[in-house]
Structure 1
Amino acid sequence: MEDKPIRVLMLFTILNRGGAETMVINYLRRIDRSKVIFDFIVHRSEKGAYDDEVEKMGCRIYRFPPLKLLRIPSYKRYISDFFDLHREYKIIHGHCSELGYYIYKEAHRRGLPFIAAHAHNEPHGLDIKTPVRNILKWRMRPYLTHYFTCSQGSAKWLFGKPLMEKAILFPNAIDTCRFVFNPVKRKEIRVSYGWEGKLVIGNISRFSYQKNHLFLLDIFSIVARCESSALLVLVGSGGELQKRVKEKVLQLGLKNKVKIMGSRADIPDLLQGMDLFLFPSLFEGLSVAQLEAQASGLKIINSTSVSEEGTIIPELVESLSLKLTAGQWAERVLQSITGYERKNRMQEITDAGFDINRNAEWLQDLYIRESRY
């Protein structure tokens, strides 16, 4: 009788095309699924962008209710009932930061040998959720056996200074072959989307406070006044600001200048067609989107709040302070679109340790090794 694969339980909010989700799906595509396979706990009833793909690969998706303050007792019972039914799981790998607290705690109570949280972000500033987030991340730490992070700043935020030294710095690796710059493909994409003769500025992210789309639109509105061919391409969906972004596009008179393309599976192709990647995030860990843009040889202007650990090819990345005005950002955008050459950057990304093929085997071996205890 053939051995069954080790089933790793991944924790998410929803399987949409965010950075953490894309990273995990990239690894899932590369591991030997006869040895290790991923299953998913998600916290939304609606279907995620990756649901169909992961189910076709033999993964299971379990839908939990959202974690809400007034429903914590019922949420805890849901977790307990789940583990009563699913005793096959020995490995938990959480990607929803401190919101995995109650699952980590129950897994620890049941003696699971591998309980990991993965730090993907380094939030800055305060909002209404900050006190609760700080309490949960502090309380979850004793229940973890493993600590993963995409950057040192993210590790410090989620695990605290003493534990960050134990964190496994795990690359947000990508399939570099899919992003190699190809001038023929670039021309095809630009013809296909009507981008020929245009200055195409792109951003790939969900419409959330963190990604700073409203400021991005302020920048672009000035660029568009100075450069009549300018076009802004926004790729992504979801997030609390999606409606406000659409409203602001109309308010600024940019209806014909801004293309909101939604969640897309053809990110490598879209990057080929862009001229510049504009990324004024309020905070970031190690951004998969920015890594993909560099792999495609695309010039990037980001904020100084984006982790420097994600700058793999310095000549392609310029970081500006969010204290500068939209006009100052626009000036740099217009100055940056000339004087750089798109070319194959595959070797630089691979040498920096961000190629998926080199890292998938290591992760697979780790899960196999740790599941034996």
Structure 2
Amino acid sequence: MVDEEPIRVLHILGSLQRGGTESVVFNNYRAIDRSKVQFDIAIDDSSMCGIPKSITDLGCKVYRIPPYTRLPKYIFAIRRICKQGNYKIIHSHMNAVSVFSLCAAWLAGVPVRIAHSHTTAGKGKGEFIRNTLKYLLRPFSRVFANRYFACSEYAARWLFGNRVVDKGRVFVLNNAINTEKFAYDQHVRDEQRRNLGLDDKFVVGHVGRFSPQKNHFFLLEAFNALYKVRNDAVLLLIGGLGSAGGGIEEALRKRIDELGISDQVIFLGAREDISELYQAMDVFTLPSLYEGLGMACIEAQCSGLPCVLSDRVPKTARINKNVKFLPLEESCENWAKALAKSKGERKDYSKRVAEAGYDIDAVTKELEAAYIQYSMSADRDTA
């Protein structure tokens, strides 16, 4: 008897930036039973980074396609891939822009078309065009999709609307992590702080790509206010370039020089050892203008870190008690006070995070079951 081929699901990621969405897809792929479900991925040919070898080694096919800004070529490329690959399921992670990729899948006759909401939208400086496009396309989010996913109820309601959510038609798939990997480890903490020269420092950490959404300039001003009252404070910035390219990081470095705190801010870039870098921190902060969930704060809580988050981060992201939400309208001095007062016993919170629904093995089993069910229903419909 010949074993059945795994279901191949085509994931649309757009421009690869090593952000939270990519991490979610990669985490799910590593954990899923690949004898039953295989992922293939389409990314923009202008992506600033490629798919990690650890992913392609697992059997993932990678397609490079024109960005959606070249719309006719974009739709043609996805339609061709769908037809040639004979995909039953396409899973688009492009939020409101998924209308375009799912239109291509519909034209190709793909029976299961998933729109996945990973974020919301804001009104921050620097993202006017991006957010305007989101708001314009949001009413069309369900035109070509016939399955709806979201990383949180908040993100689901923003993209798909209250009626669809209240009818139970949205599958909320938590942005799960390997909880054991992010569990607190005193040995790793000591080693990382020693390697980074942080033994006697109060370390404020932030993980997020350099884009207006993450609100780095506000973070910088809040940290500067903190440094005025705690001269042992250091800011760790971890993340790669976002949609704005290197412009934000360059402007940040200029502002850091103006404030005279160059020795207190450490840029670590996009890293593969983020789970270890959390251990070196004393407090984690995420002053985002908007978030669908805020995966980084789940990781930070798993490592036992106290967190200071903007009130634009969904409250469902709070798992531990030492998580504080602050309005962005609060002064930088008040943010500095919150950072300075943040404390908590550093211990292994991995079990608590897993029980809250963020364990990768449990979540991936749910995703696997959904794909299998969708594939079977597609087979029945075409029989």
- Give the TM-score normalised by the residue count of structure 2: 0.91
CA offsets 1:43-67 (integer angstroms, 9 cap, x no match): 1434536432211111011111112
CA contact (8 A) 1:104 1:144 kept: yes
SS in 2 for 1:353: helix
Change (3 A) 1:110 1:74: closer
The CA deviation at 1:355 is 0.7
Find the counterpart in structure 2 of residue 200 from structure 1: 203
SS in 2 for 1:58: coil
Q: 2:326 aligns with which of 312, 320, 323?
A: 320
Change (3 A) 1:271 1:190: same
The CA deviation at 1:80 is 3.1
CA offsets 1:121-141 (integer angstroms, 9 cap, x no match): 121227234443233232241
* Structure 2 Cα separation of the partners of residues 27 and 296 of structure 1: 20
Unaligned runs of 5+ in 1: none
CA contact (8 A) 2:76 2:104 kept: no
* Structure 2 Cα separation of the partners of residues 297 and 49 of structure 1: 32
Larger deviation: 43-52 or 13-22?
43-52
Larger deviation: 150-159 or 46-55?
46-55
Q: 2:181 aligns with which of 178, 198, 208?
A: 178
Change (3 A) 1:49 1:278: farther
Task: List aligned pairs for 1:3-82, cutoff 5 A.
Answer: 3-46=4-47, 48=49, 50-68=51-69, 71-82=70-81
Q: CA RMSD in A?
A: 1.7
CA contact (8 A) 2:79 2:105 kept: no
The CA deviation at 1:257 is 0.8
The CA deviation at 1:119 is 0.9
Larger deviation: 135-144 or 286-295?
135-144
CA contact (8 A) 2:80 2:108 kept: no
Larger deviation: 322-331 or 128-137?
128-137
Find the counterpart in structure 2 of residue 242 from structure 1: 249
CA offsets 1:62-98 (integer angstroms, 9 cap, x no match): 1111122xx3233333333333433x21111111112
* Structure 1 Cα separation of the partners of residues 274 and 214 of structure 2: 18
CA offsets 1:115-171 (integer angstroms, 9 cap, x no match): 111111121227234443233232241211111111122111111222233111111
What letter corresponds to residue 198 of structure 1 in structure 2?
A: K
2:117 paired with 1:119: yes
The CA deviation at 1:186 is 1.1
CA contact (8 A) 2:79 2:107 kept: no
What letter corresponds to residue 333 of structure 1 in structure 2?
A: L
Unaligned runs of 5+ in 2: 379-383
Q: 1:294 aligns with which of 298, 301, 304?
A: 301
The CA deviation at 1:11 is 0.9
Find the counterpart in structure 2 of residue 92 from structure 1: 90
SS in 2 for 1:283: coil
Task: List aligned pairs for 1:158-237, cutoff 5 A.
Answer: 158-165=159-166, 166-237=169-240
SS in 2 for 1:143: coil
2:341 paired with 1:329: no
SS in 1 for 2:297: helix
CA contact (8 A) 1:205 1:211 kept: yes
* Structure 2 Cα separation of the partners of residues 179 and 93 of structure 1: 27
CA contact (8 A) 2:179 2:359 kept: yes
CA contact (8 A) 1:281 1:306 kept: yes
Find the counterpart in structure 2 of residue 341 from structure 1: 345
What letter corresponds to residue 41 of structure 1 in structure 2?
A: A
Find the counterpart in structure 1 of residue 381 from structure 2: none
CA contact (8 A) 2:154 2:292 kept: yes
The CA deviation at 1:253 is 1.5
What letter corresponds to residue 181 of structure 1 in structure 2?
A: Y
Larger deviation: 202-211 or 93-102?
93-102
- Identity, % of aligned pairs? 35
SS in 2 for 1:297: coil
The CA deviation at 1:351 is 1.2
SS in 1 for 2:371: helix
CA offsets 1:295-349 (integer angstroms, 9 cap, x no match): 0000100111110011111x12011111111111112211224xx2111112211
The CA deviation at 1:17 is 2.7
CA contact (8 A) 2:15 2:67 kept: no
SS in 2 for 1:76: helix
Task: List aligned pairs for 1:90-169, cutoff 5 A.
Answer: 90-125=88-123, 127-165=128-166, 166-169=169-172
* Structure 2 Cα separation of the partners of residues 358 and 291 of structure 1: 16
CA contact (8 A) 1:40 1:61 kept: yes
CA contact (8 A) 2:226 2:340 kept: yes
CA contact (8 A) 1:104 1:140 kept: no
The count of residues paired between Structure 1 and Structure 2 equals 367
Change (3 A) 1:186 1:371: same
What letter corresponds to residue 148 of structure 2 in structure 1?
A: Y
Larger deviation: 289-298 or 52-61?
52-61
SS in 1 for 2:363: helix
What letter corresponds to residue 44 of structure 2 in structure 1?
A: H
CA contact (8 A) 2:6 2:35 kept: yes
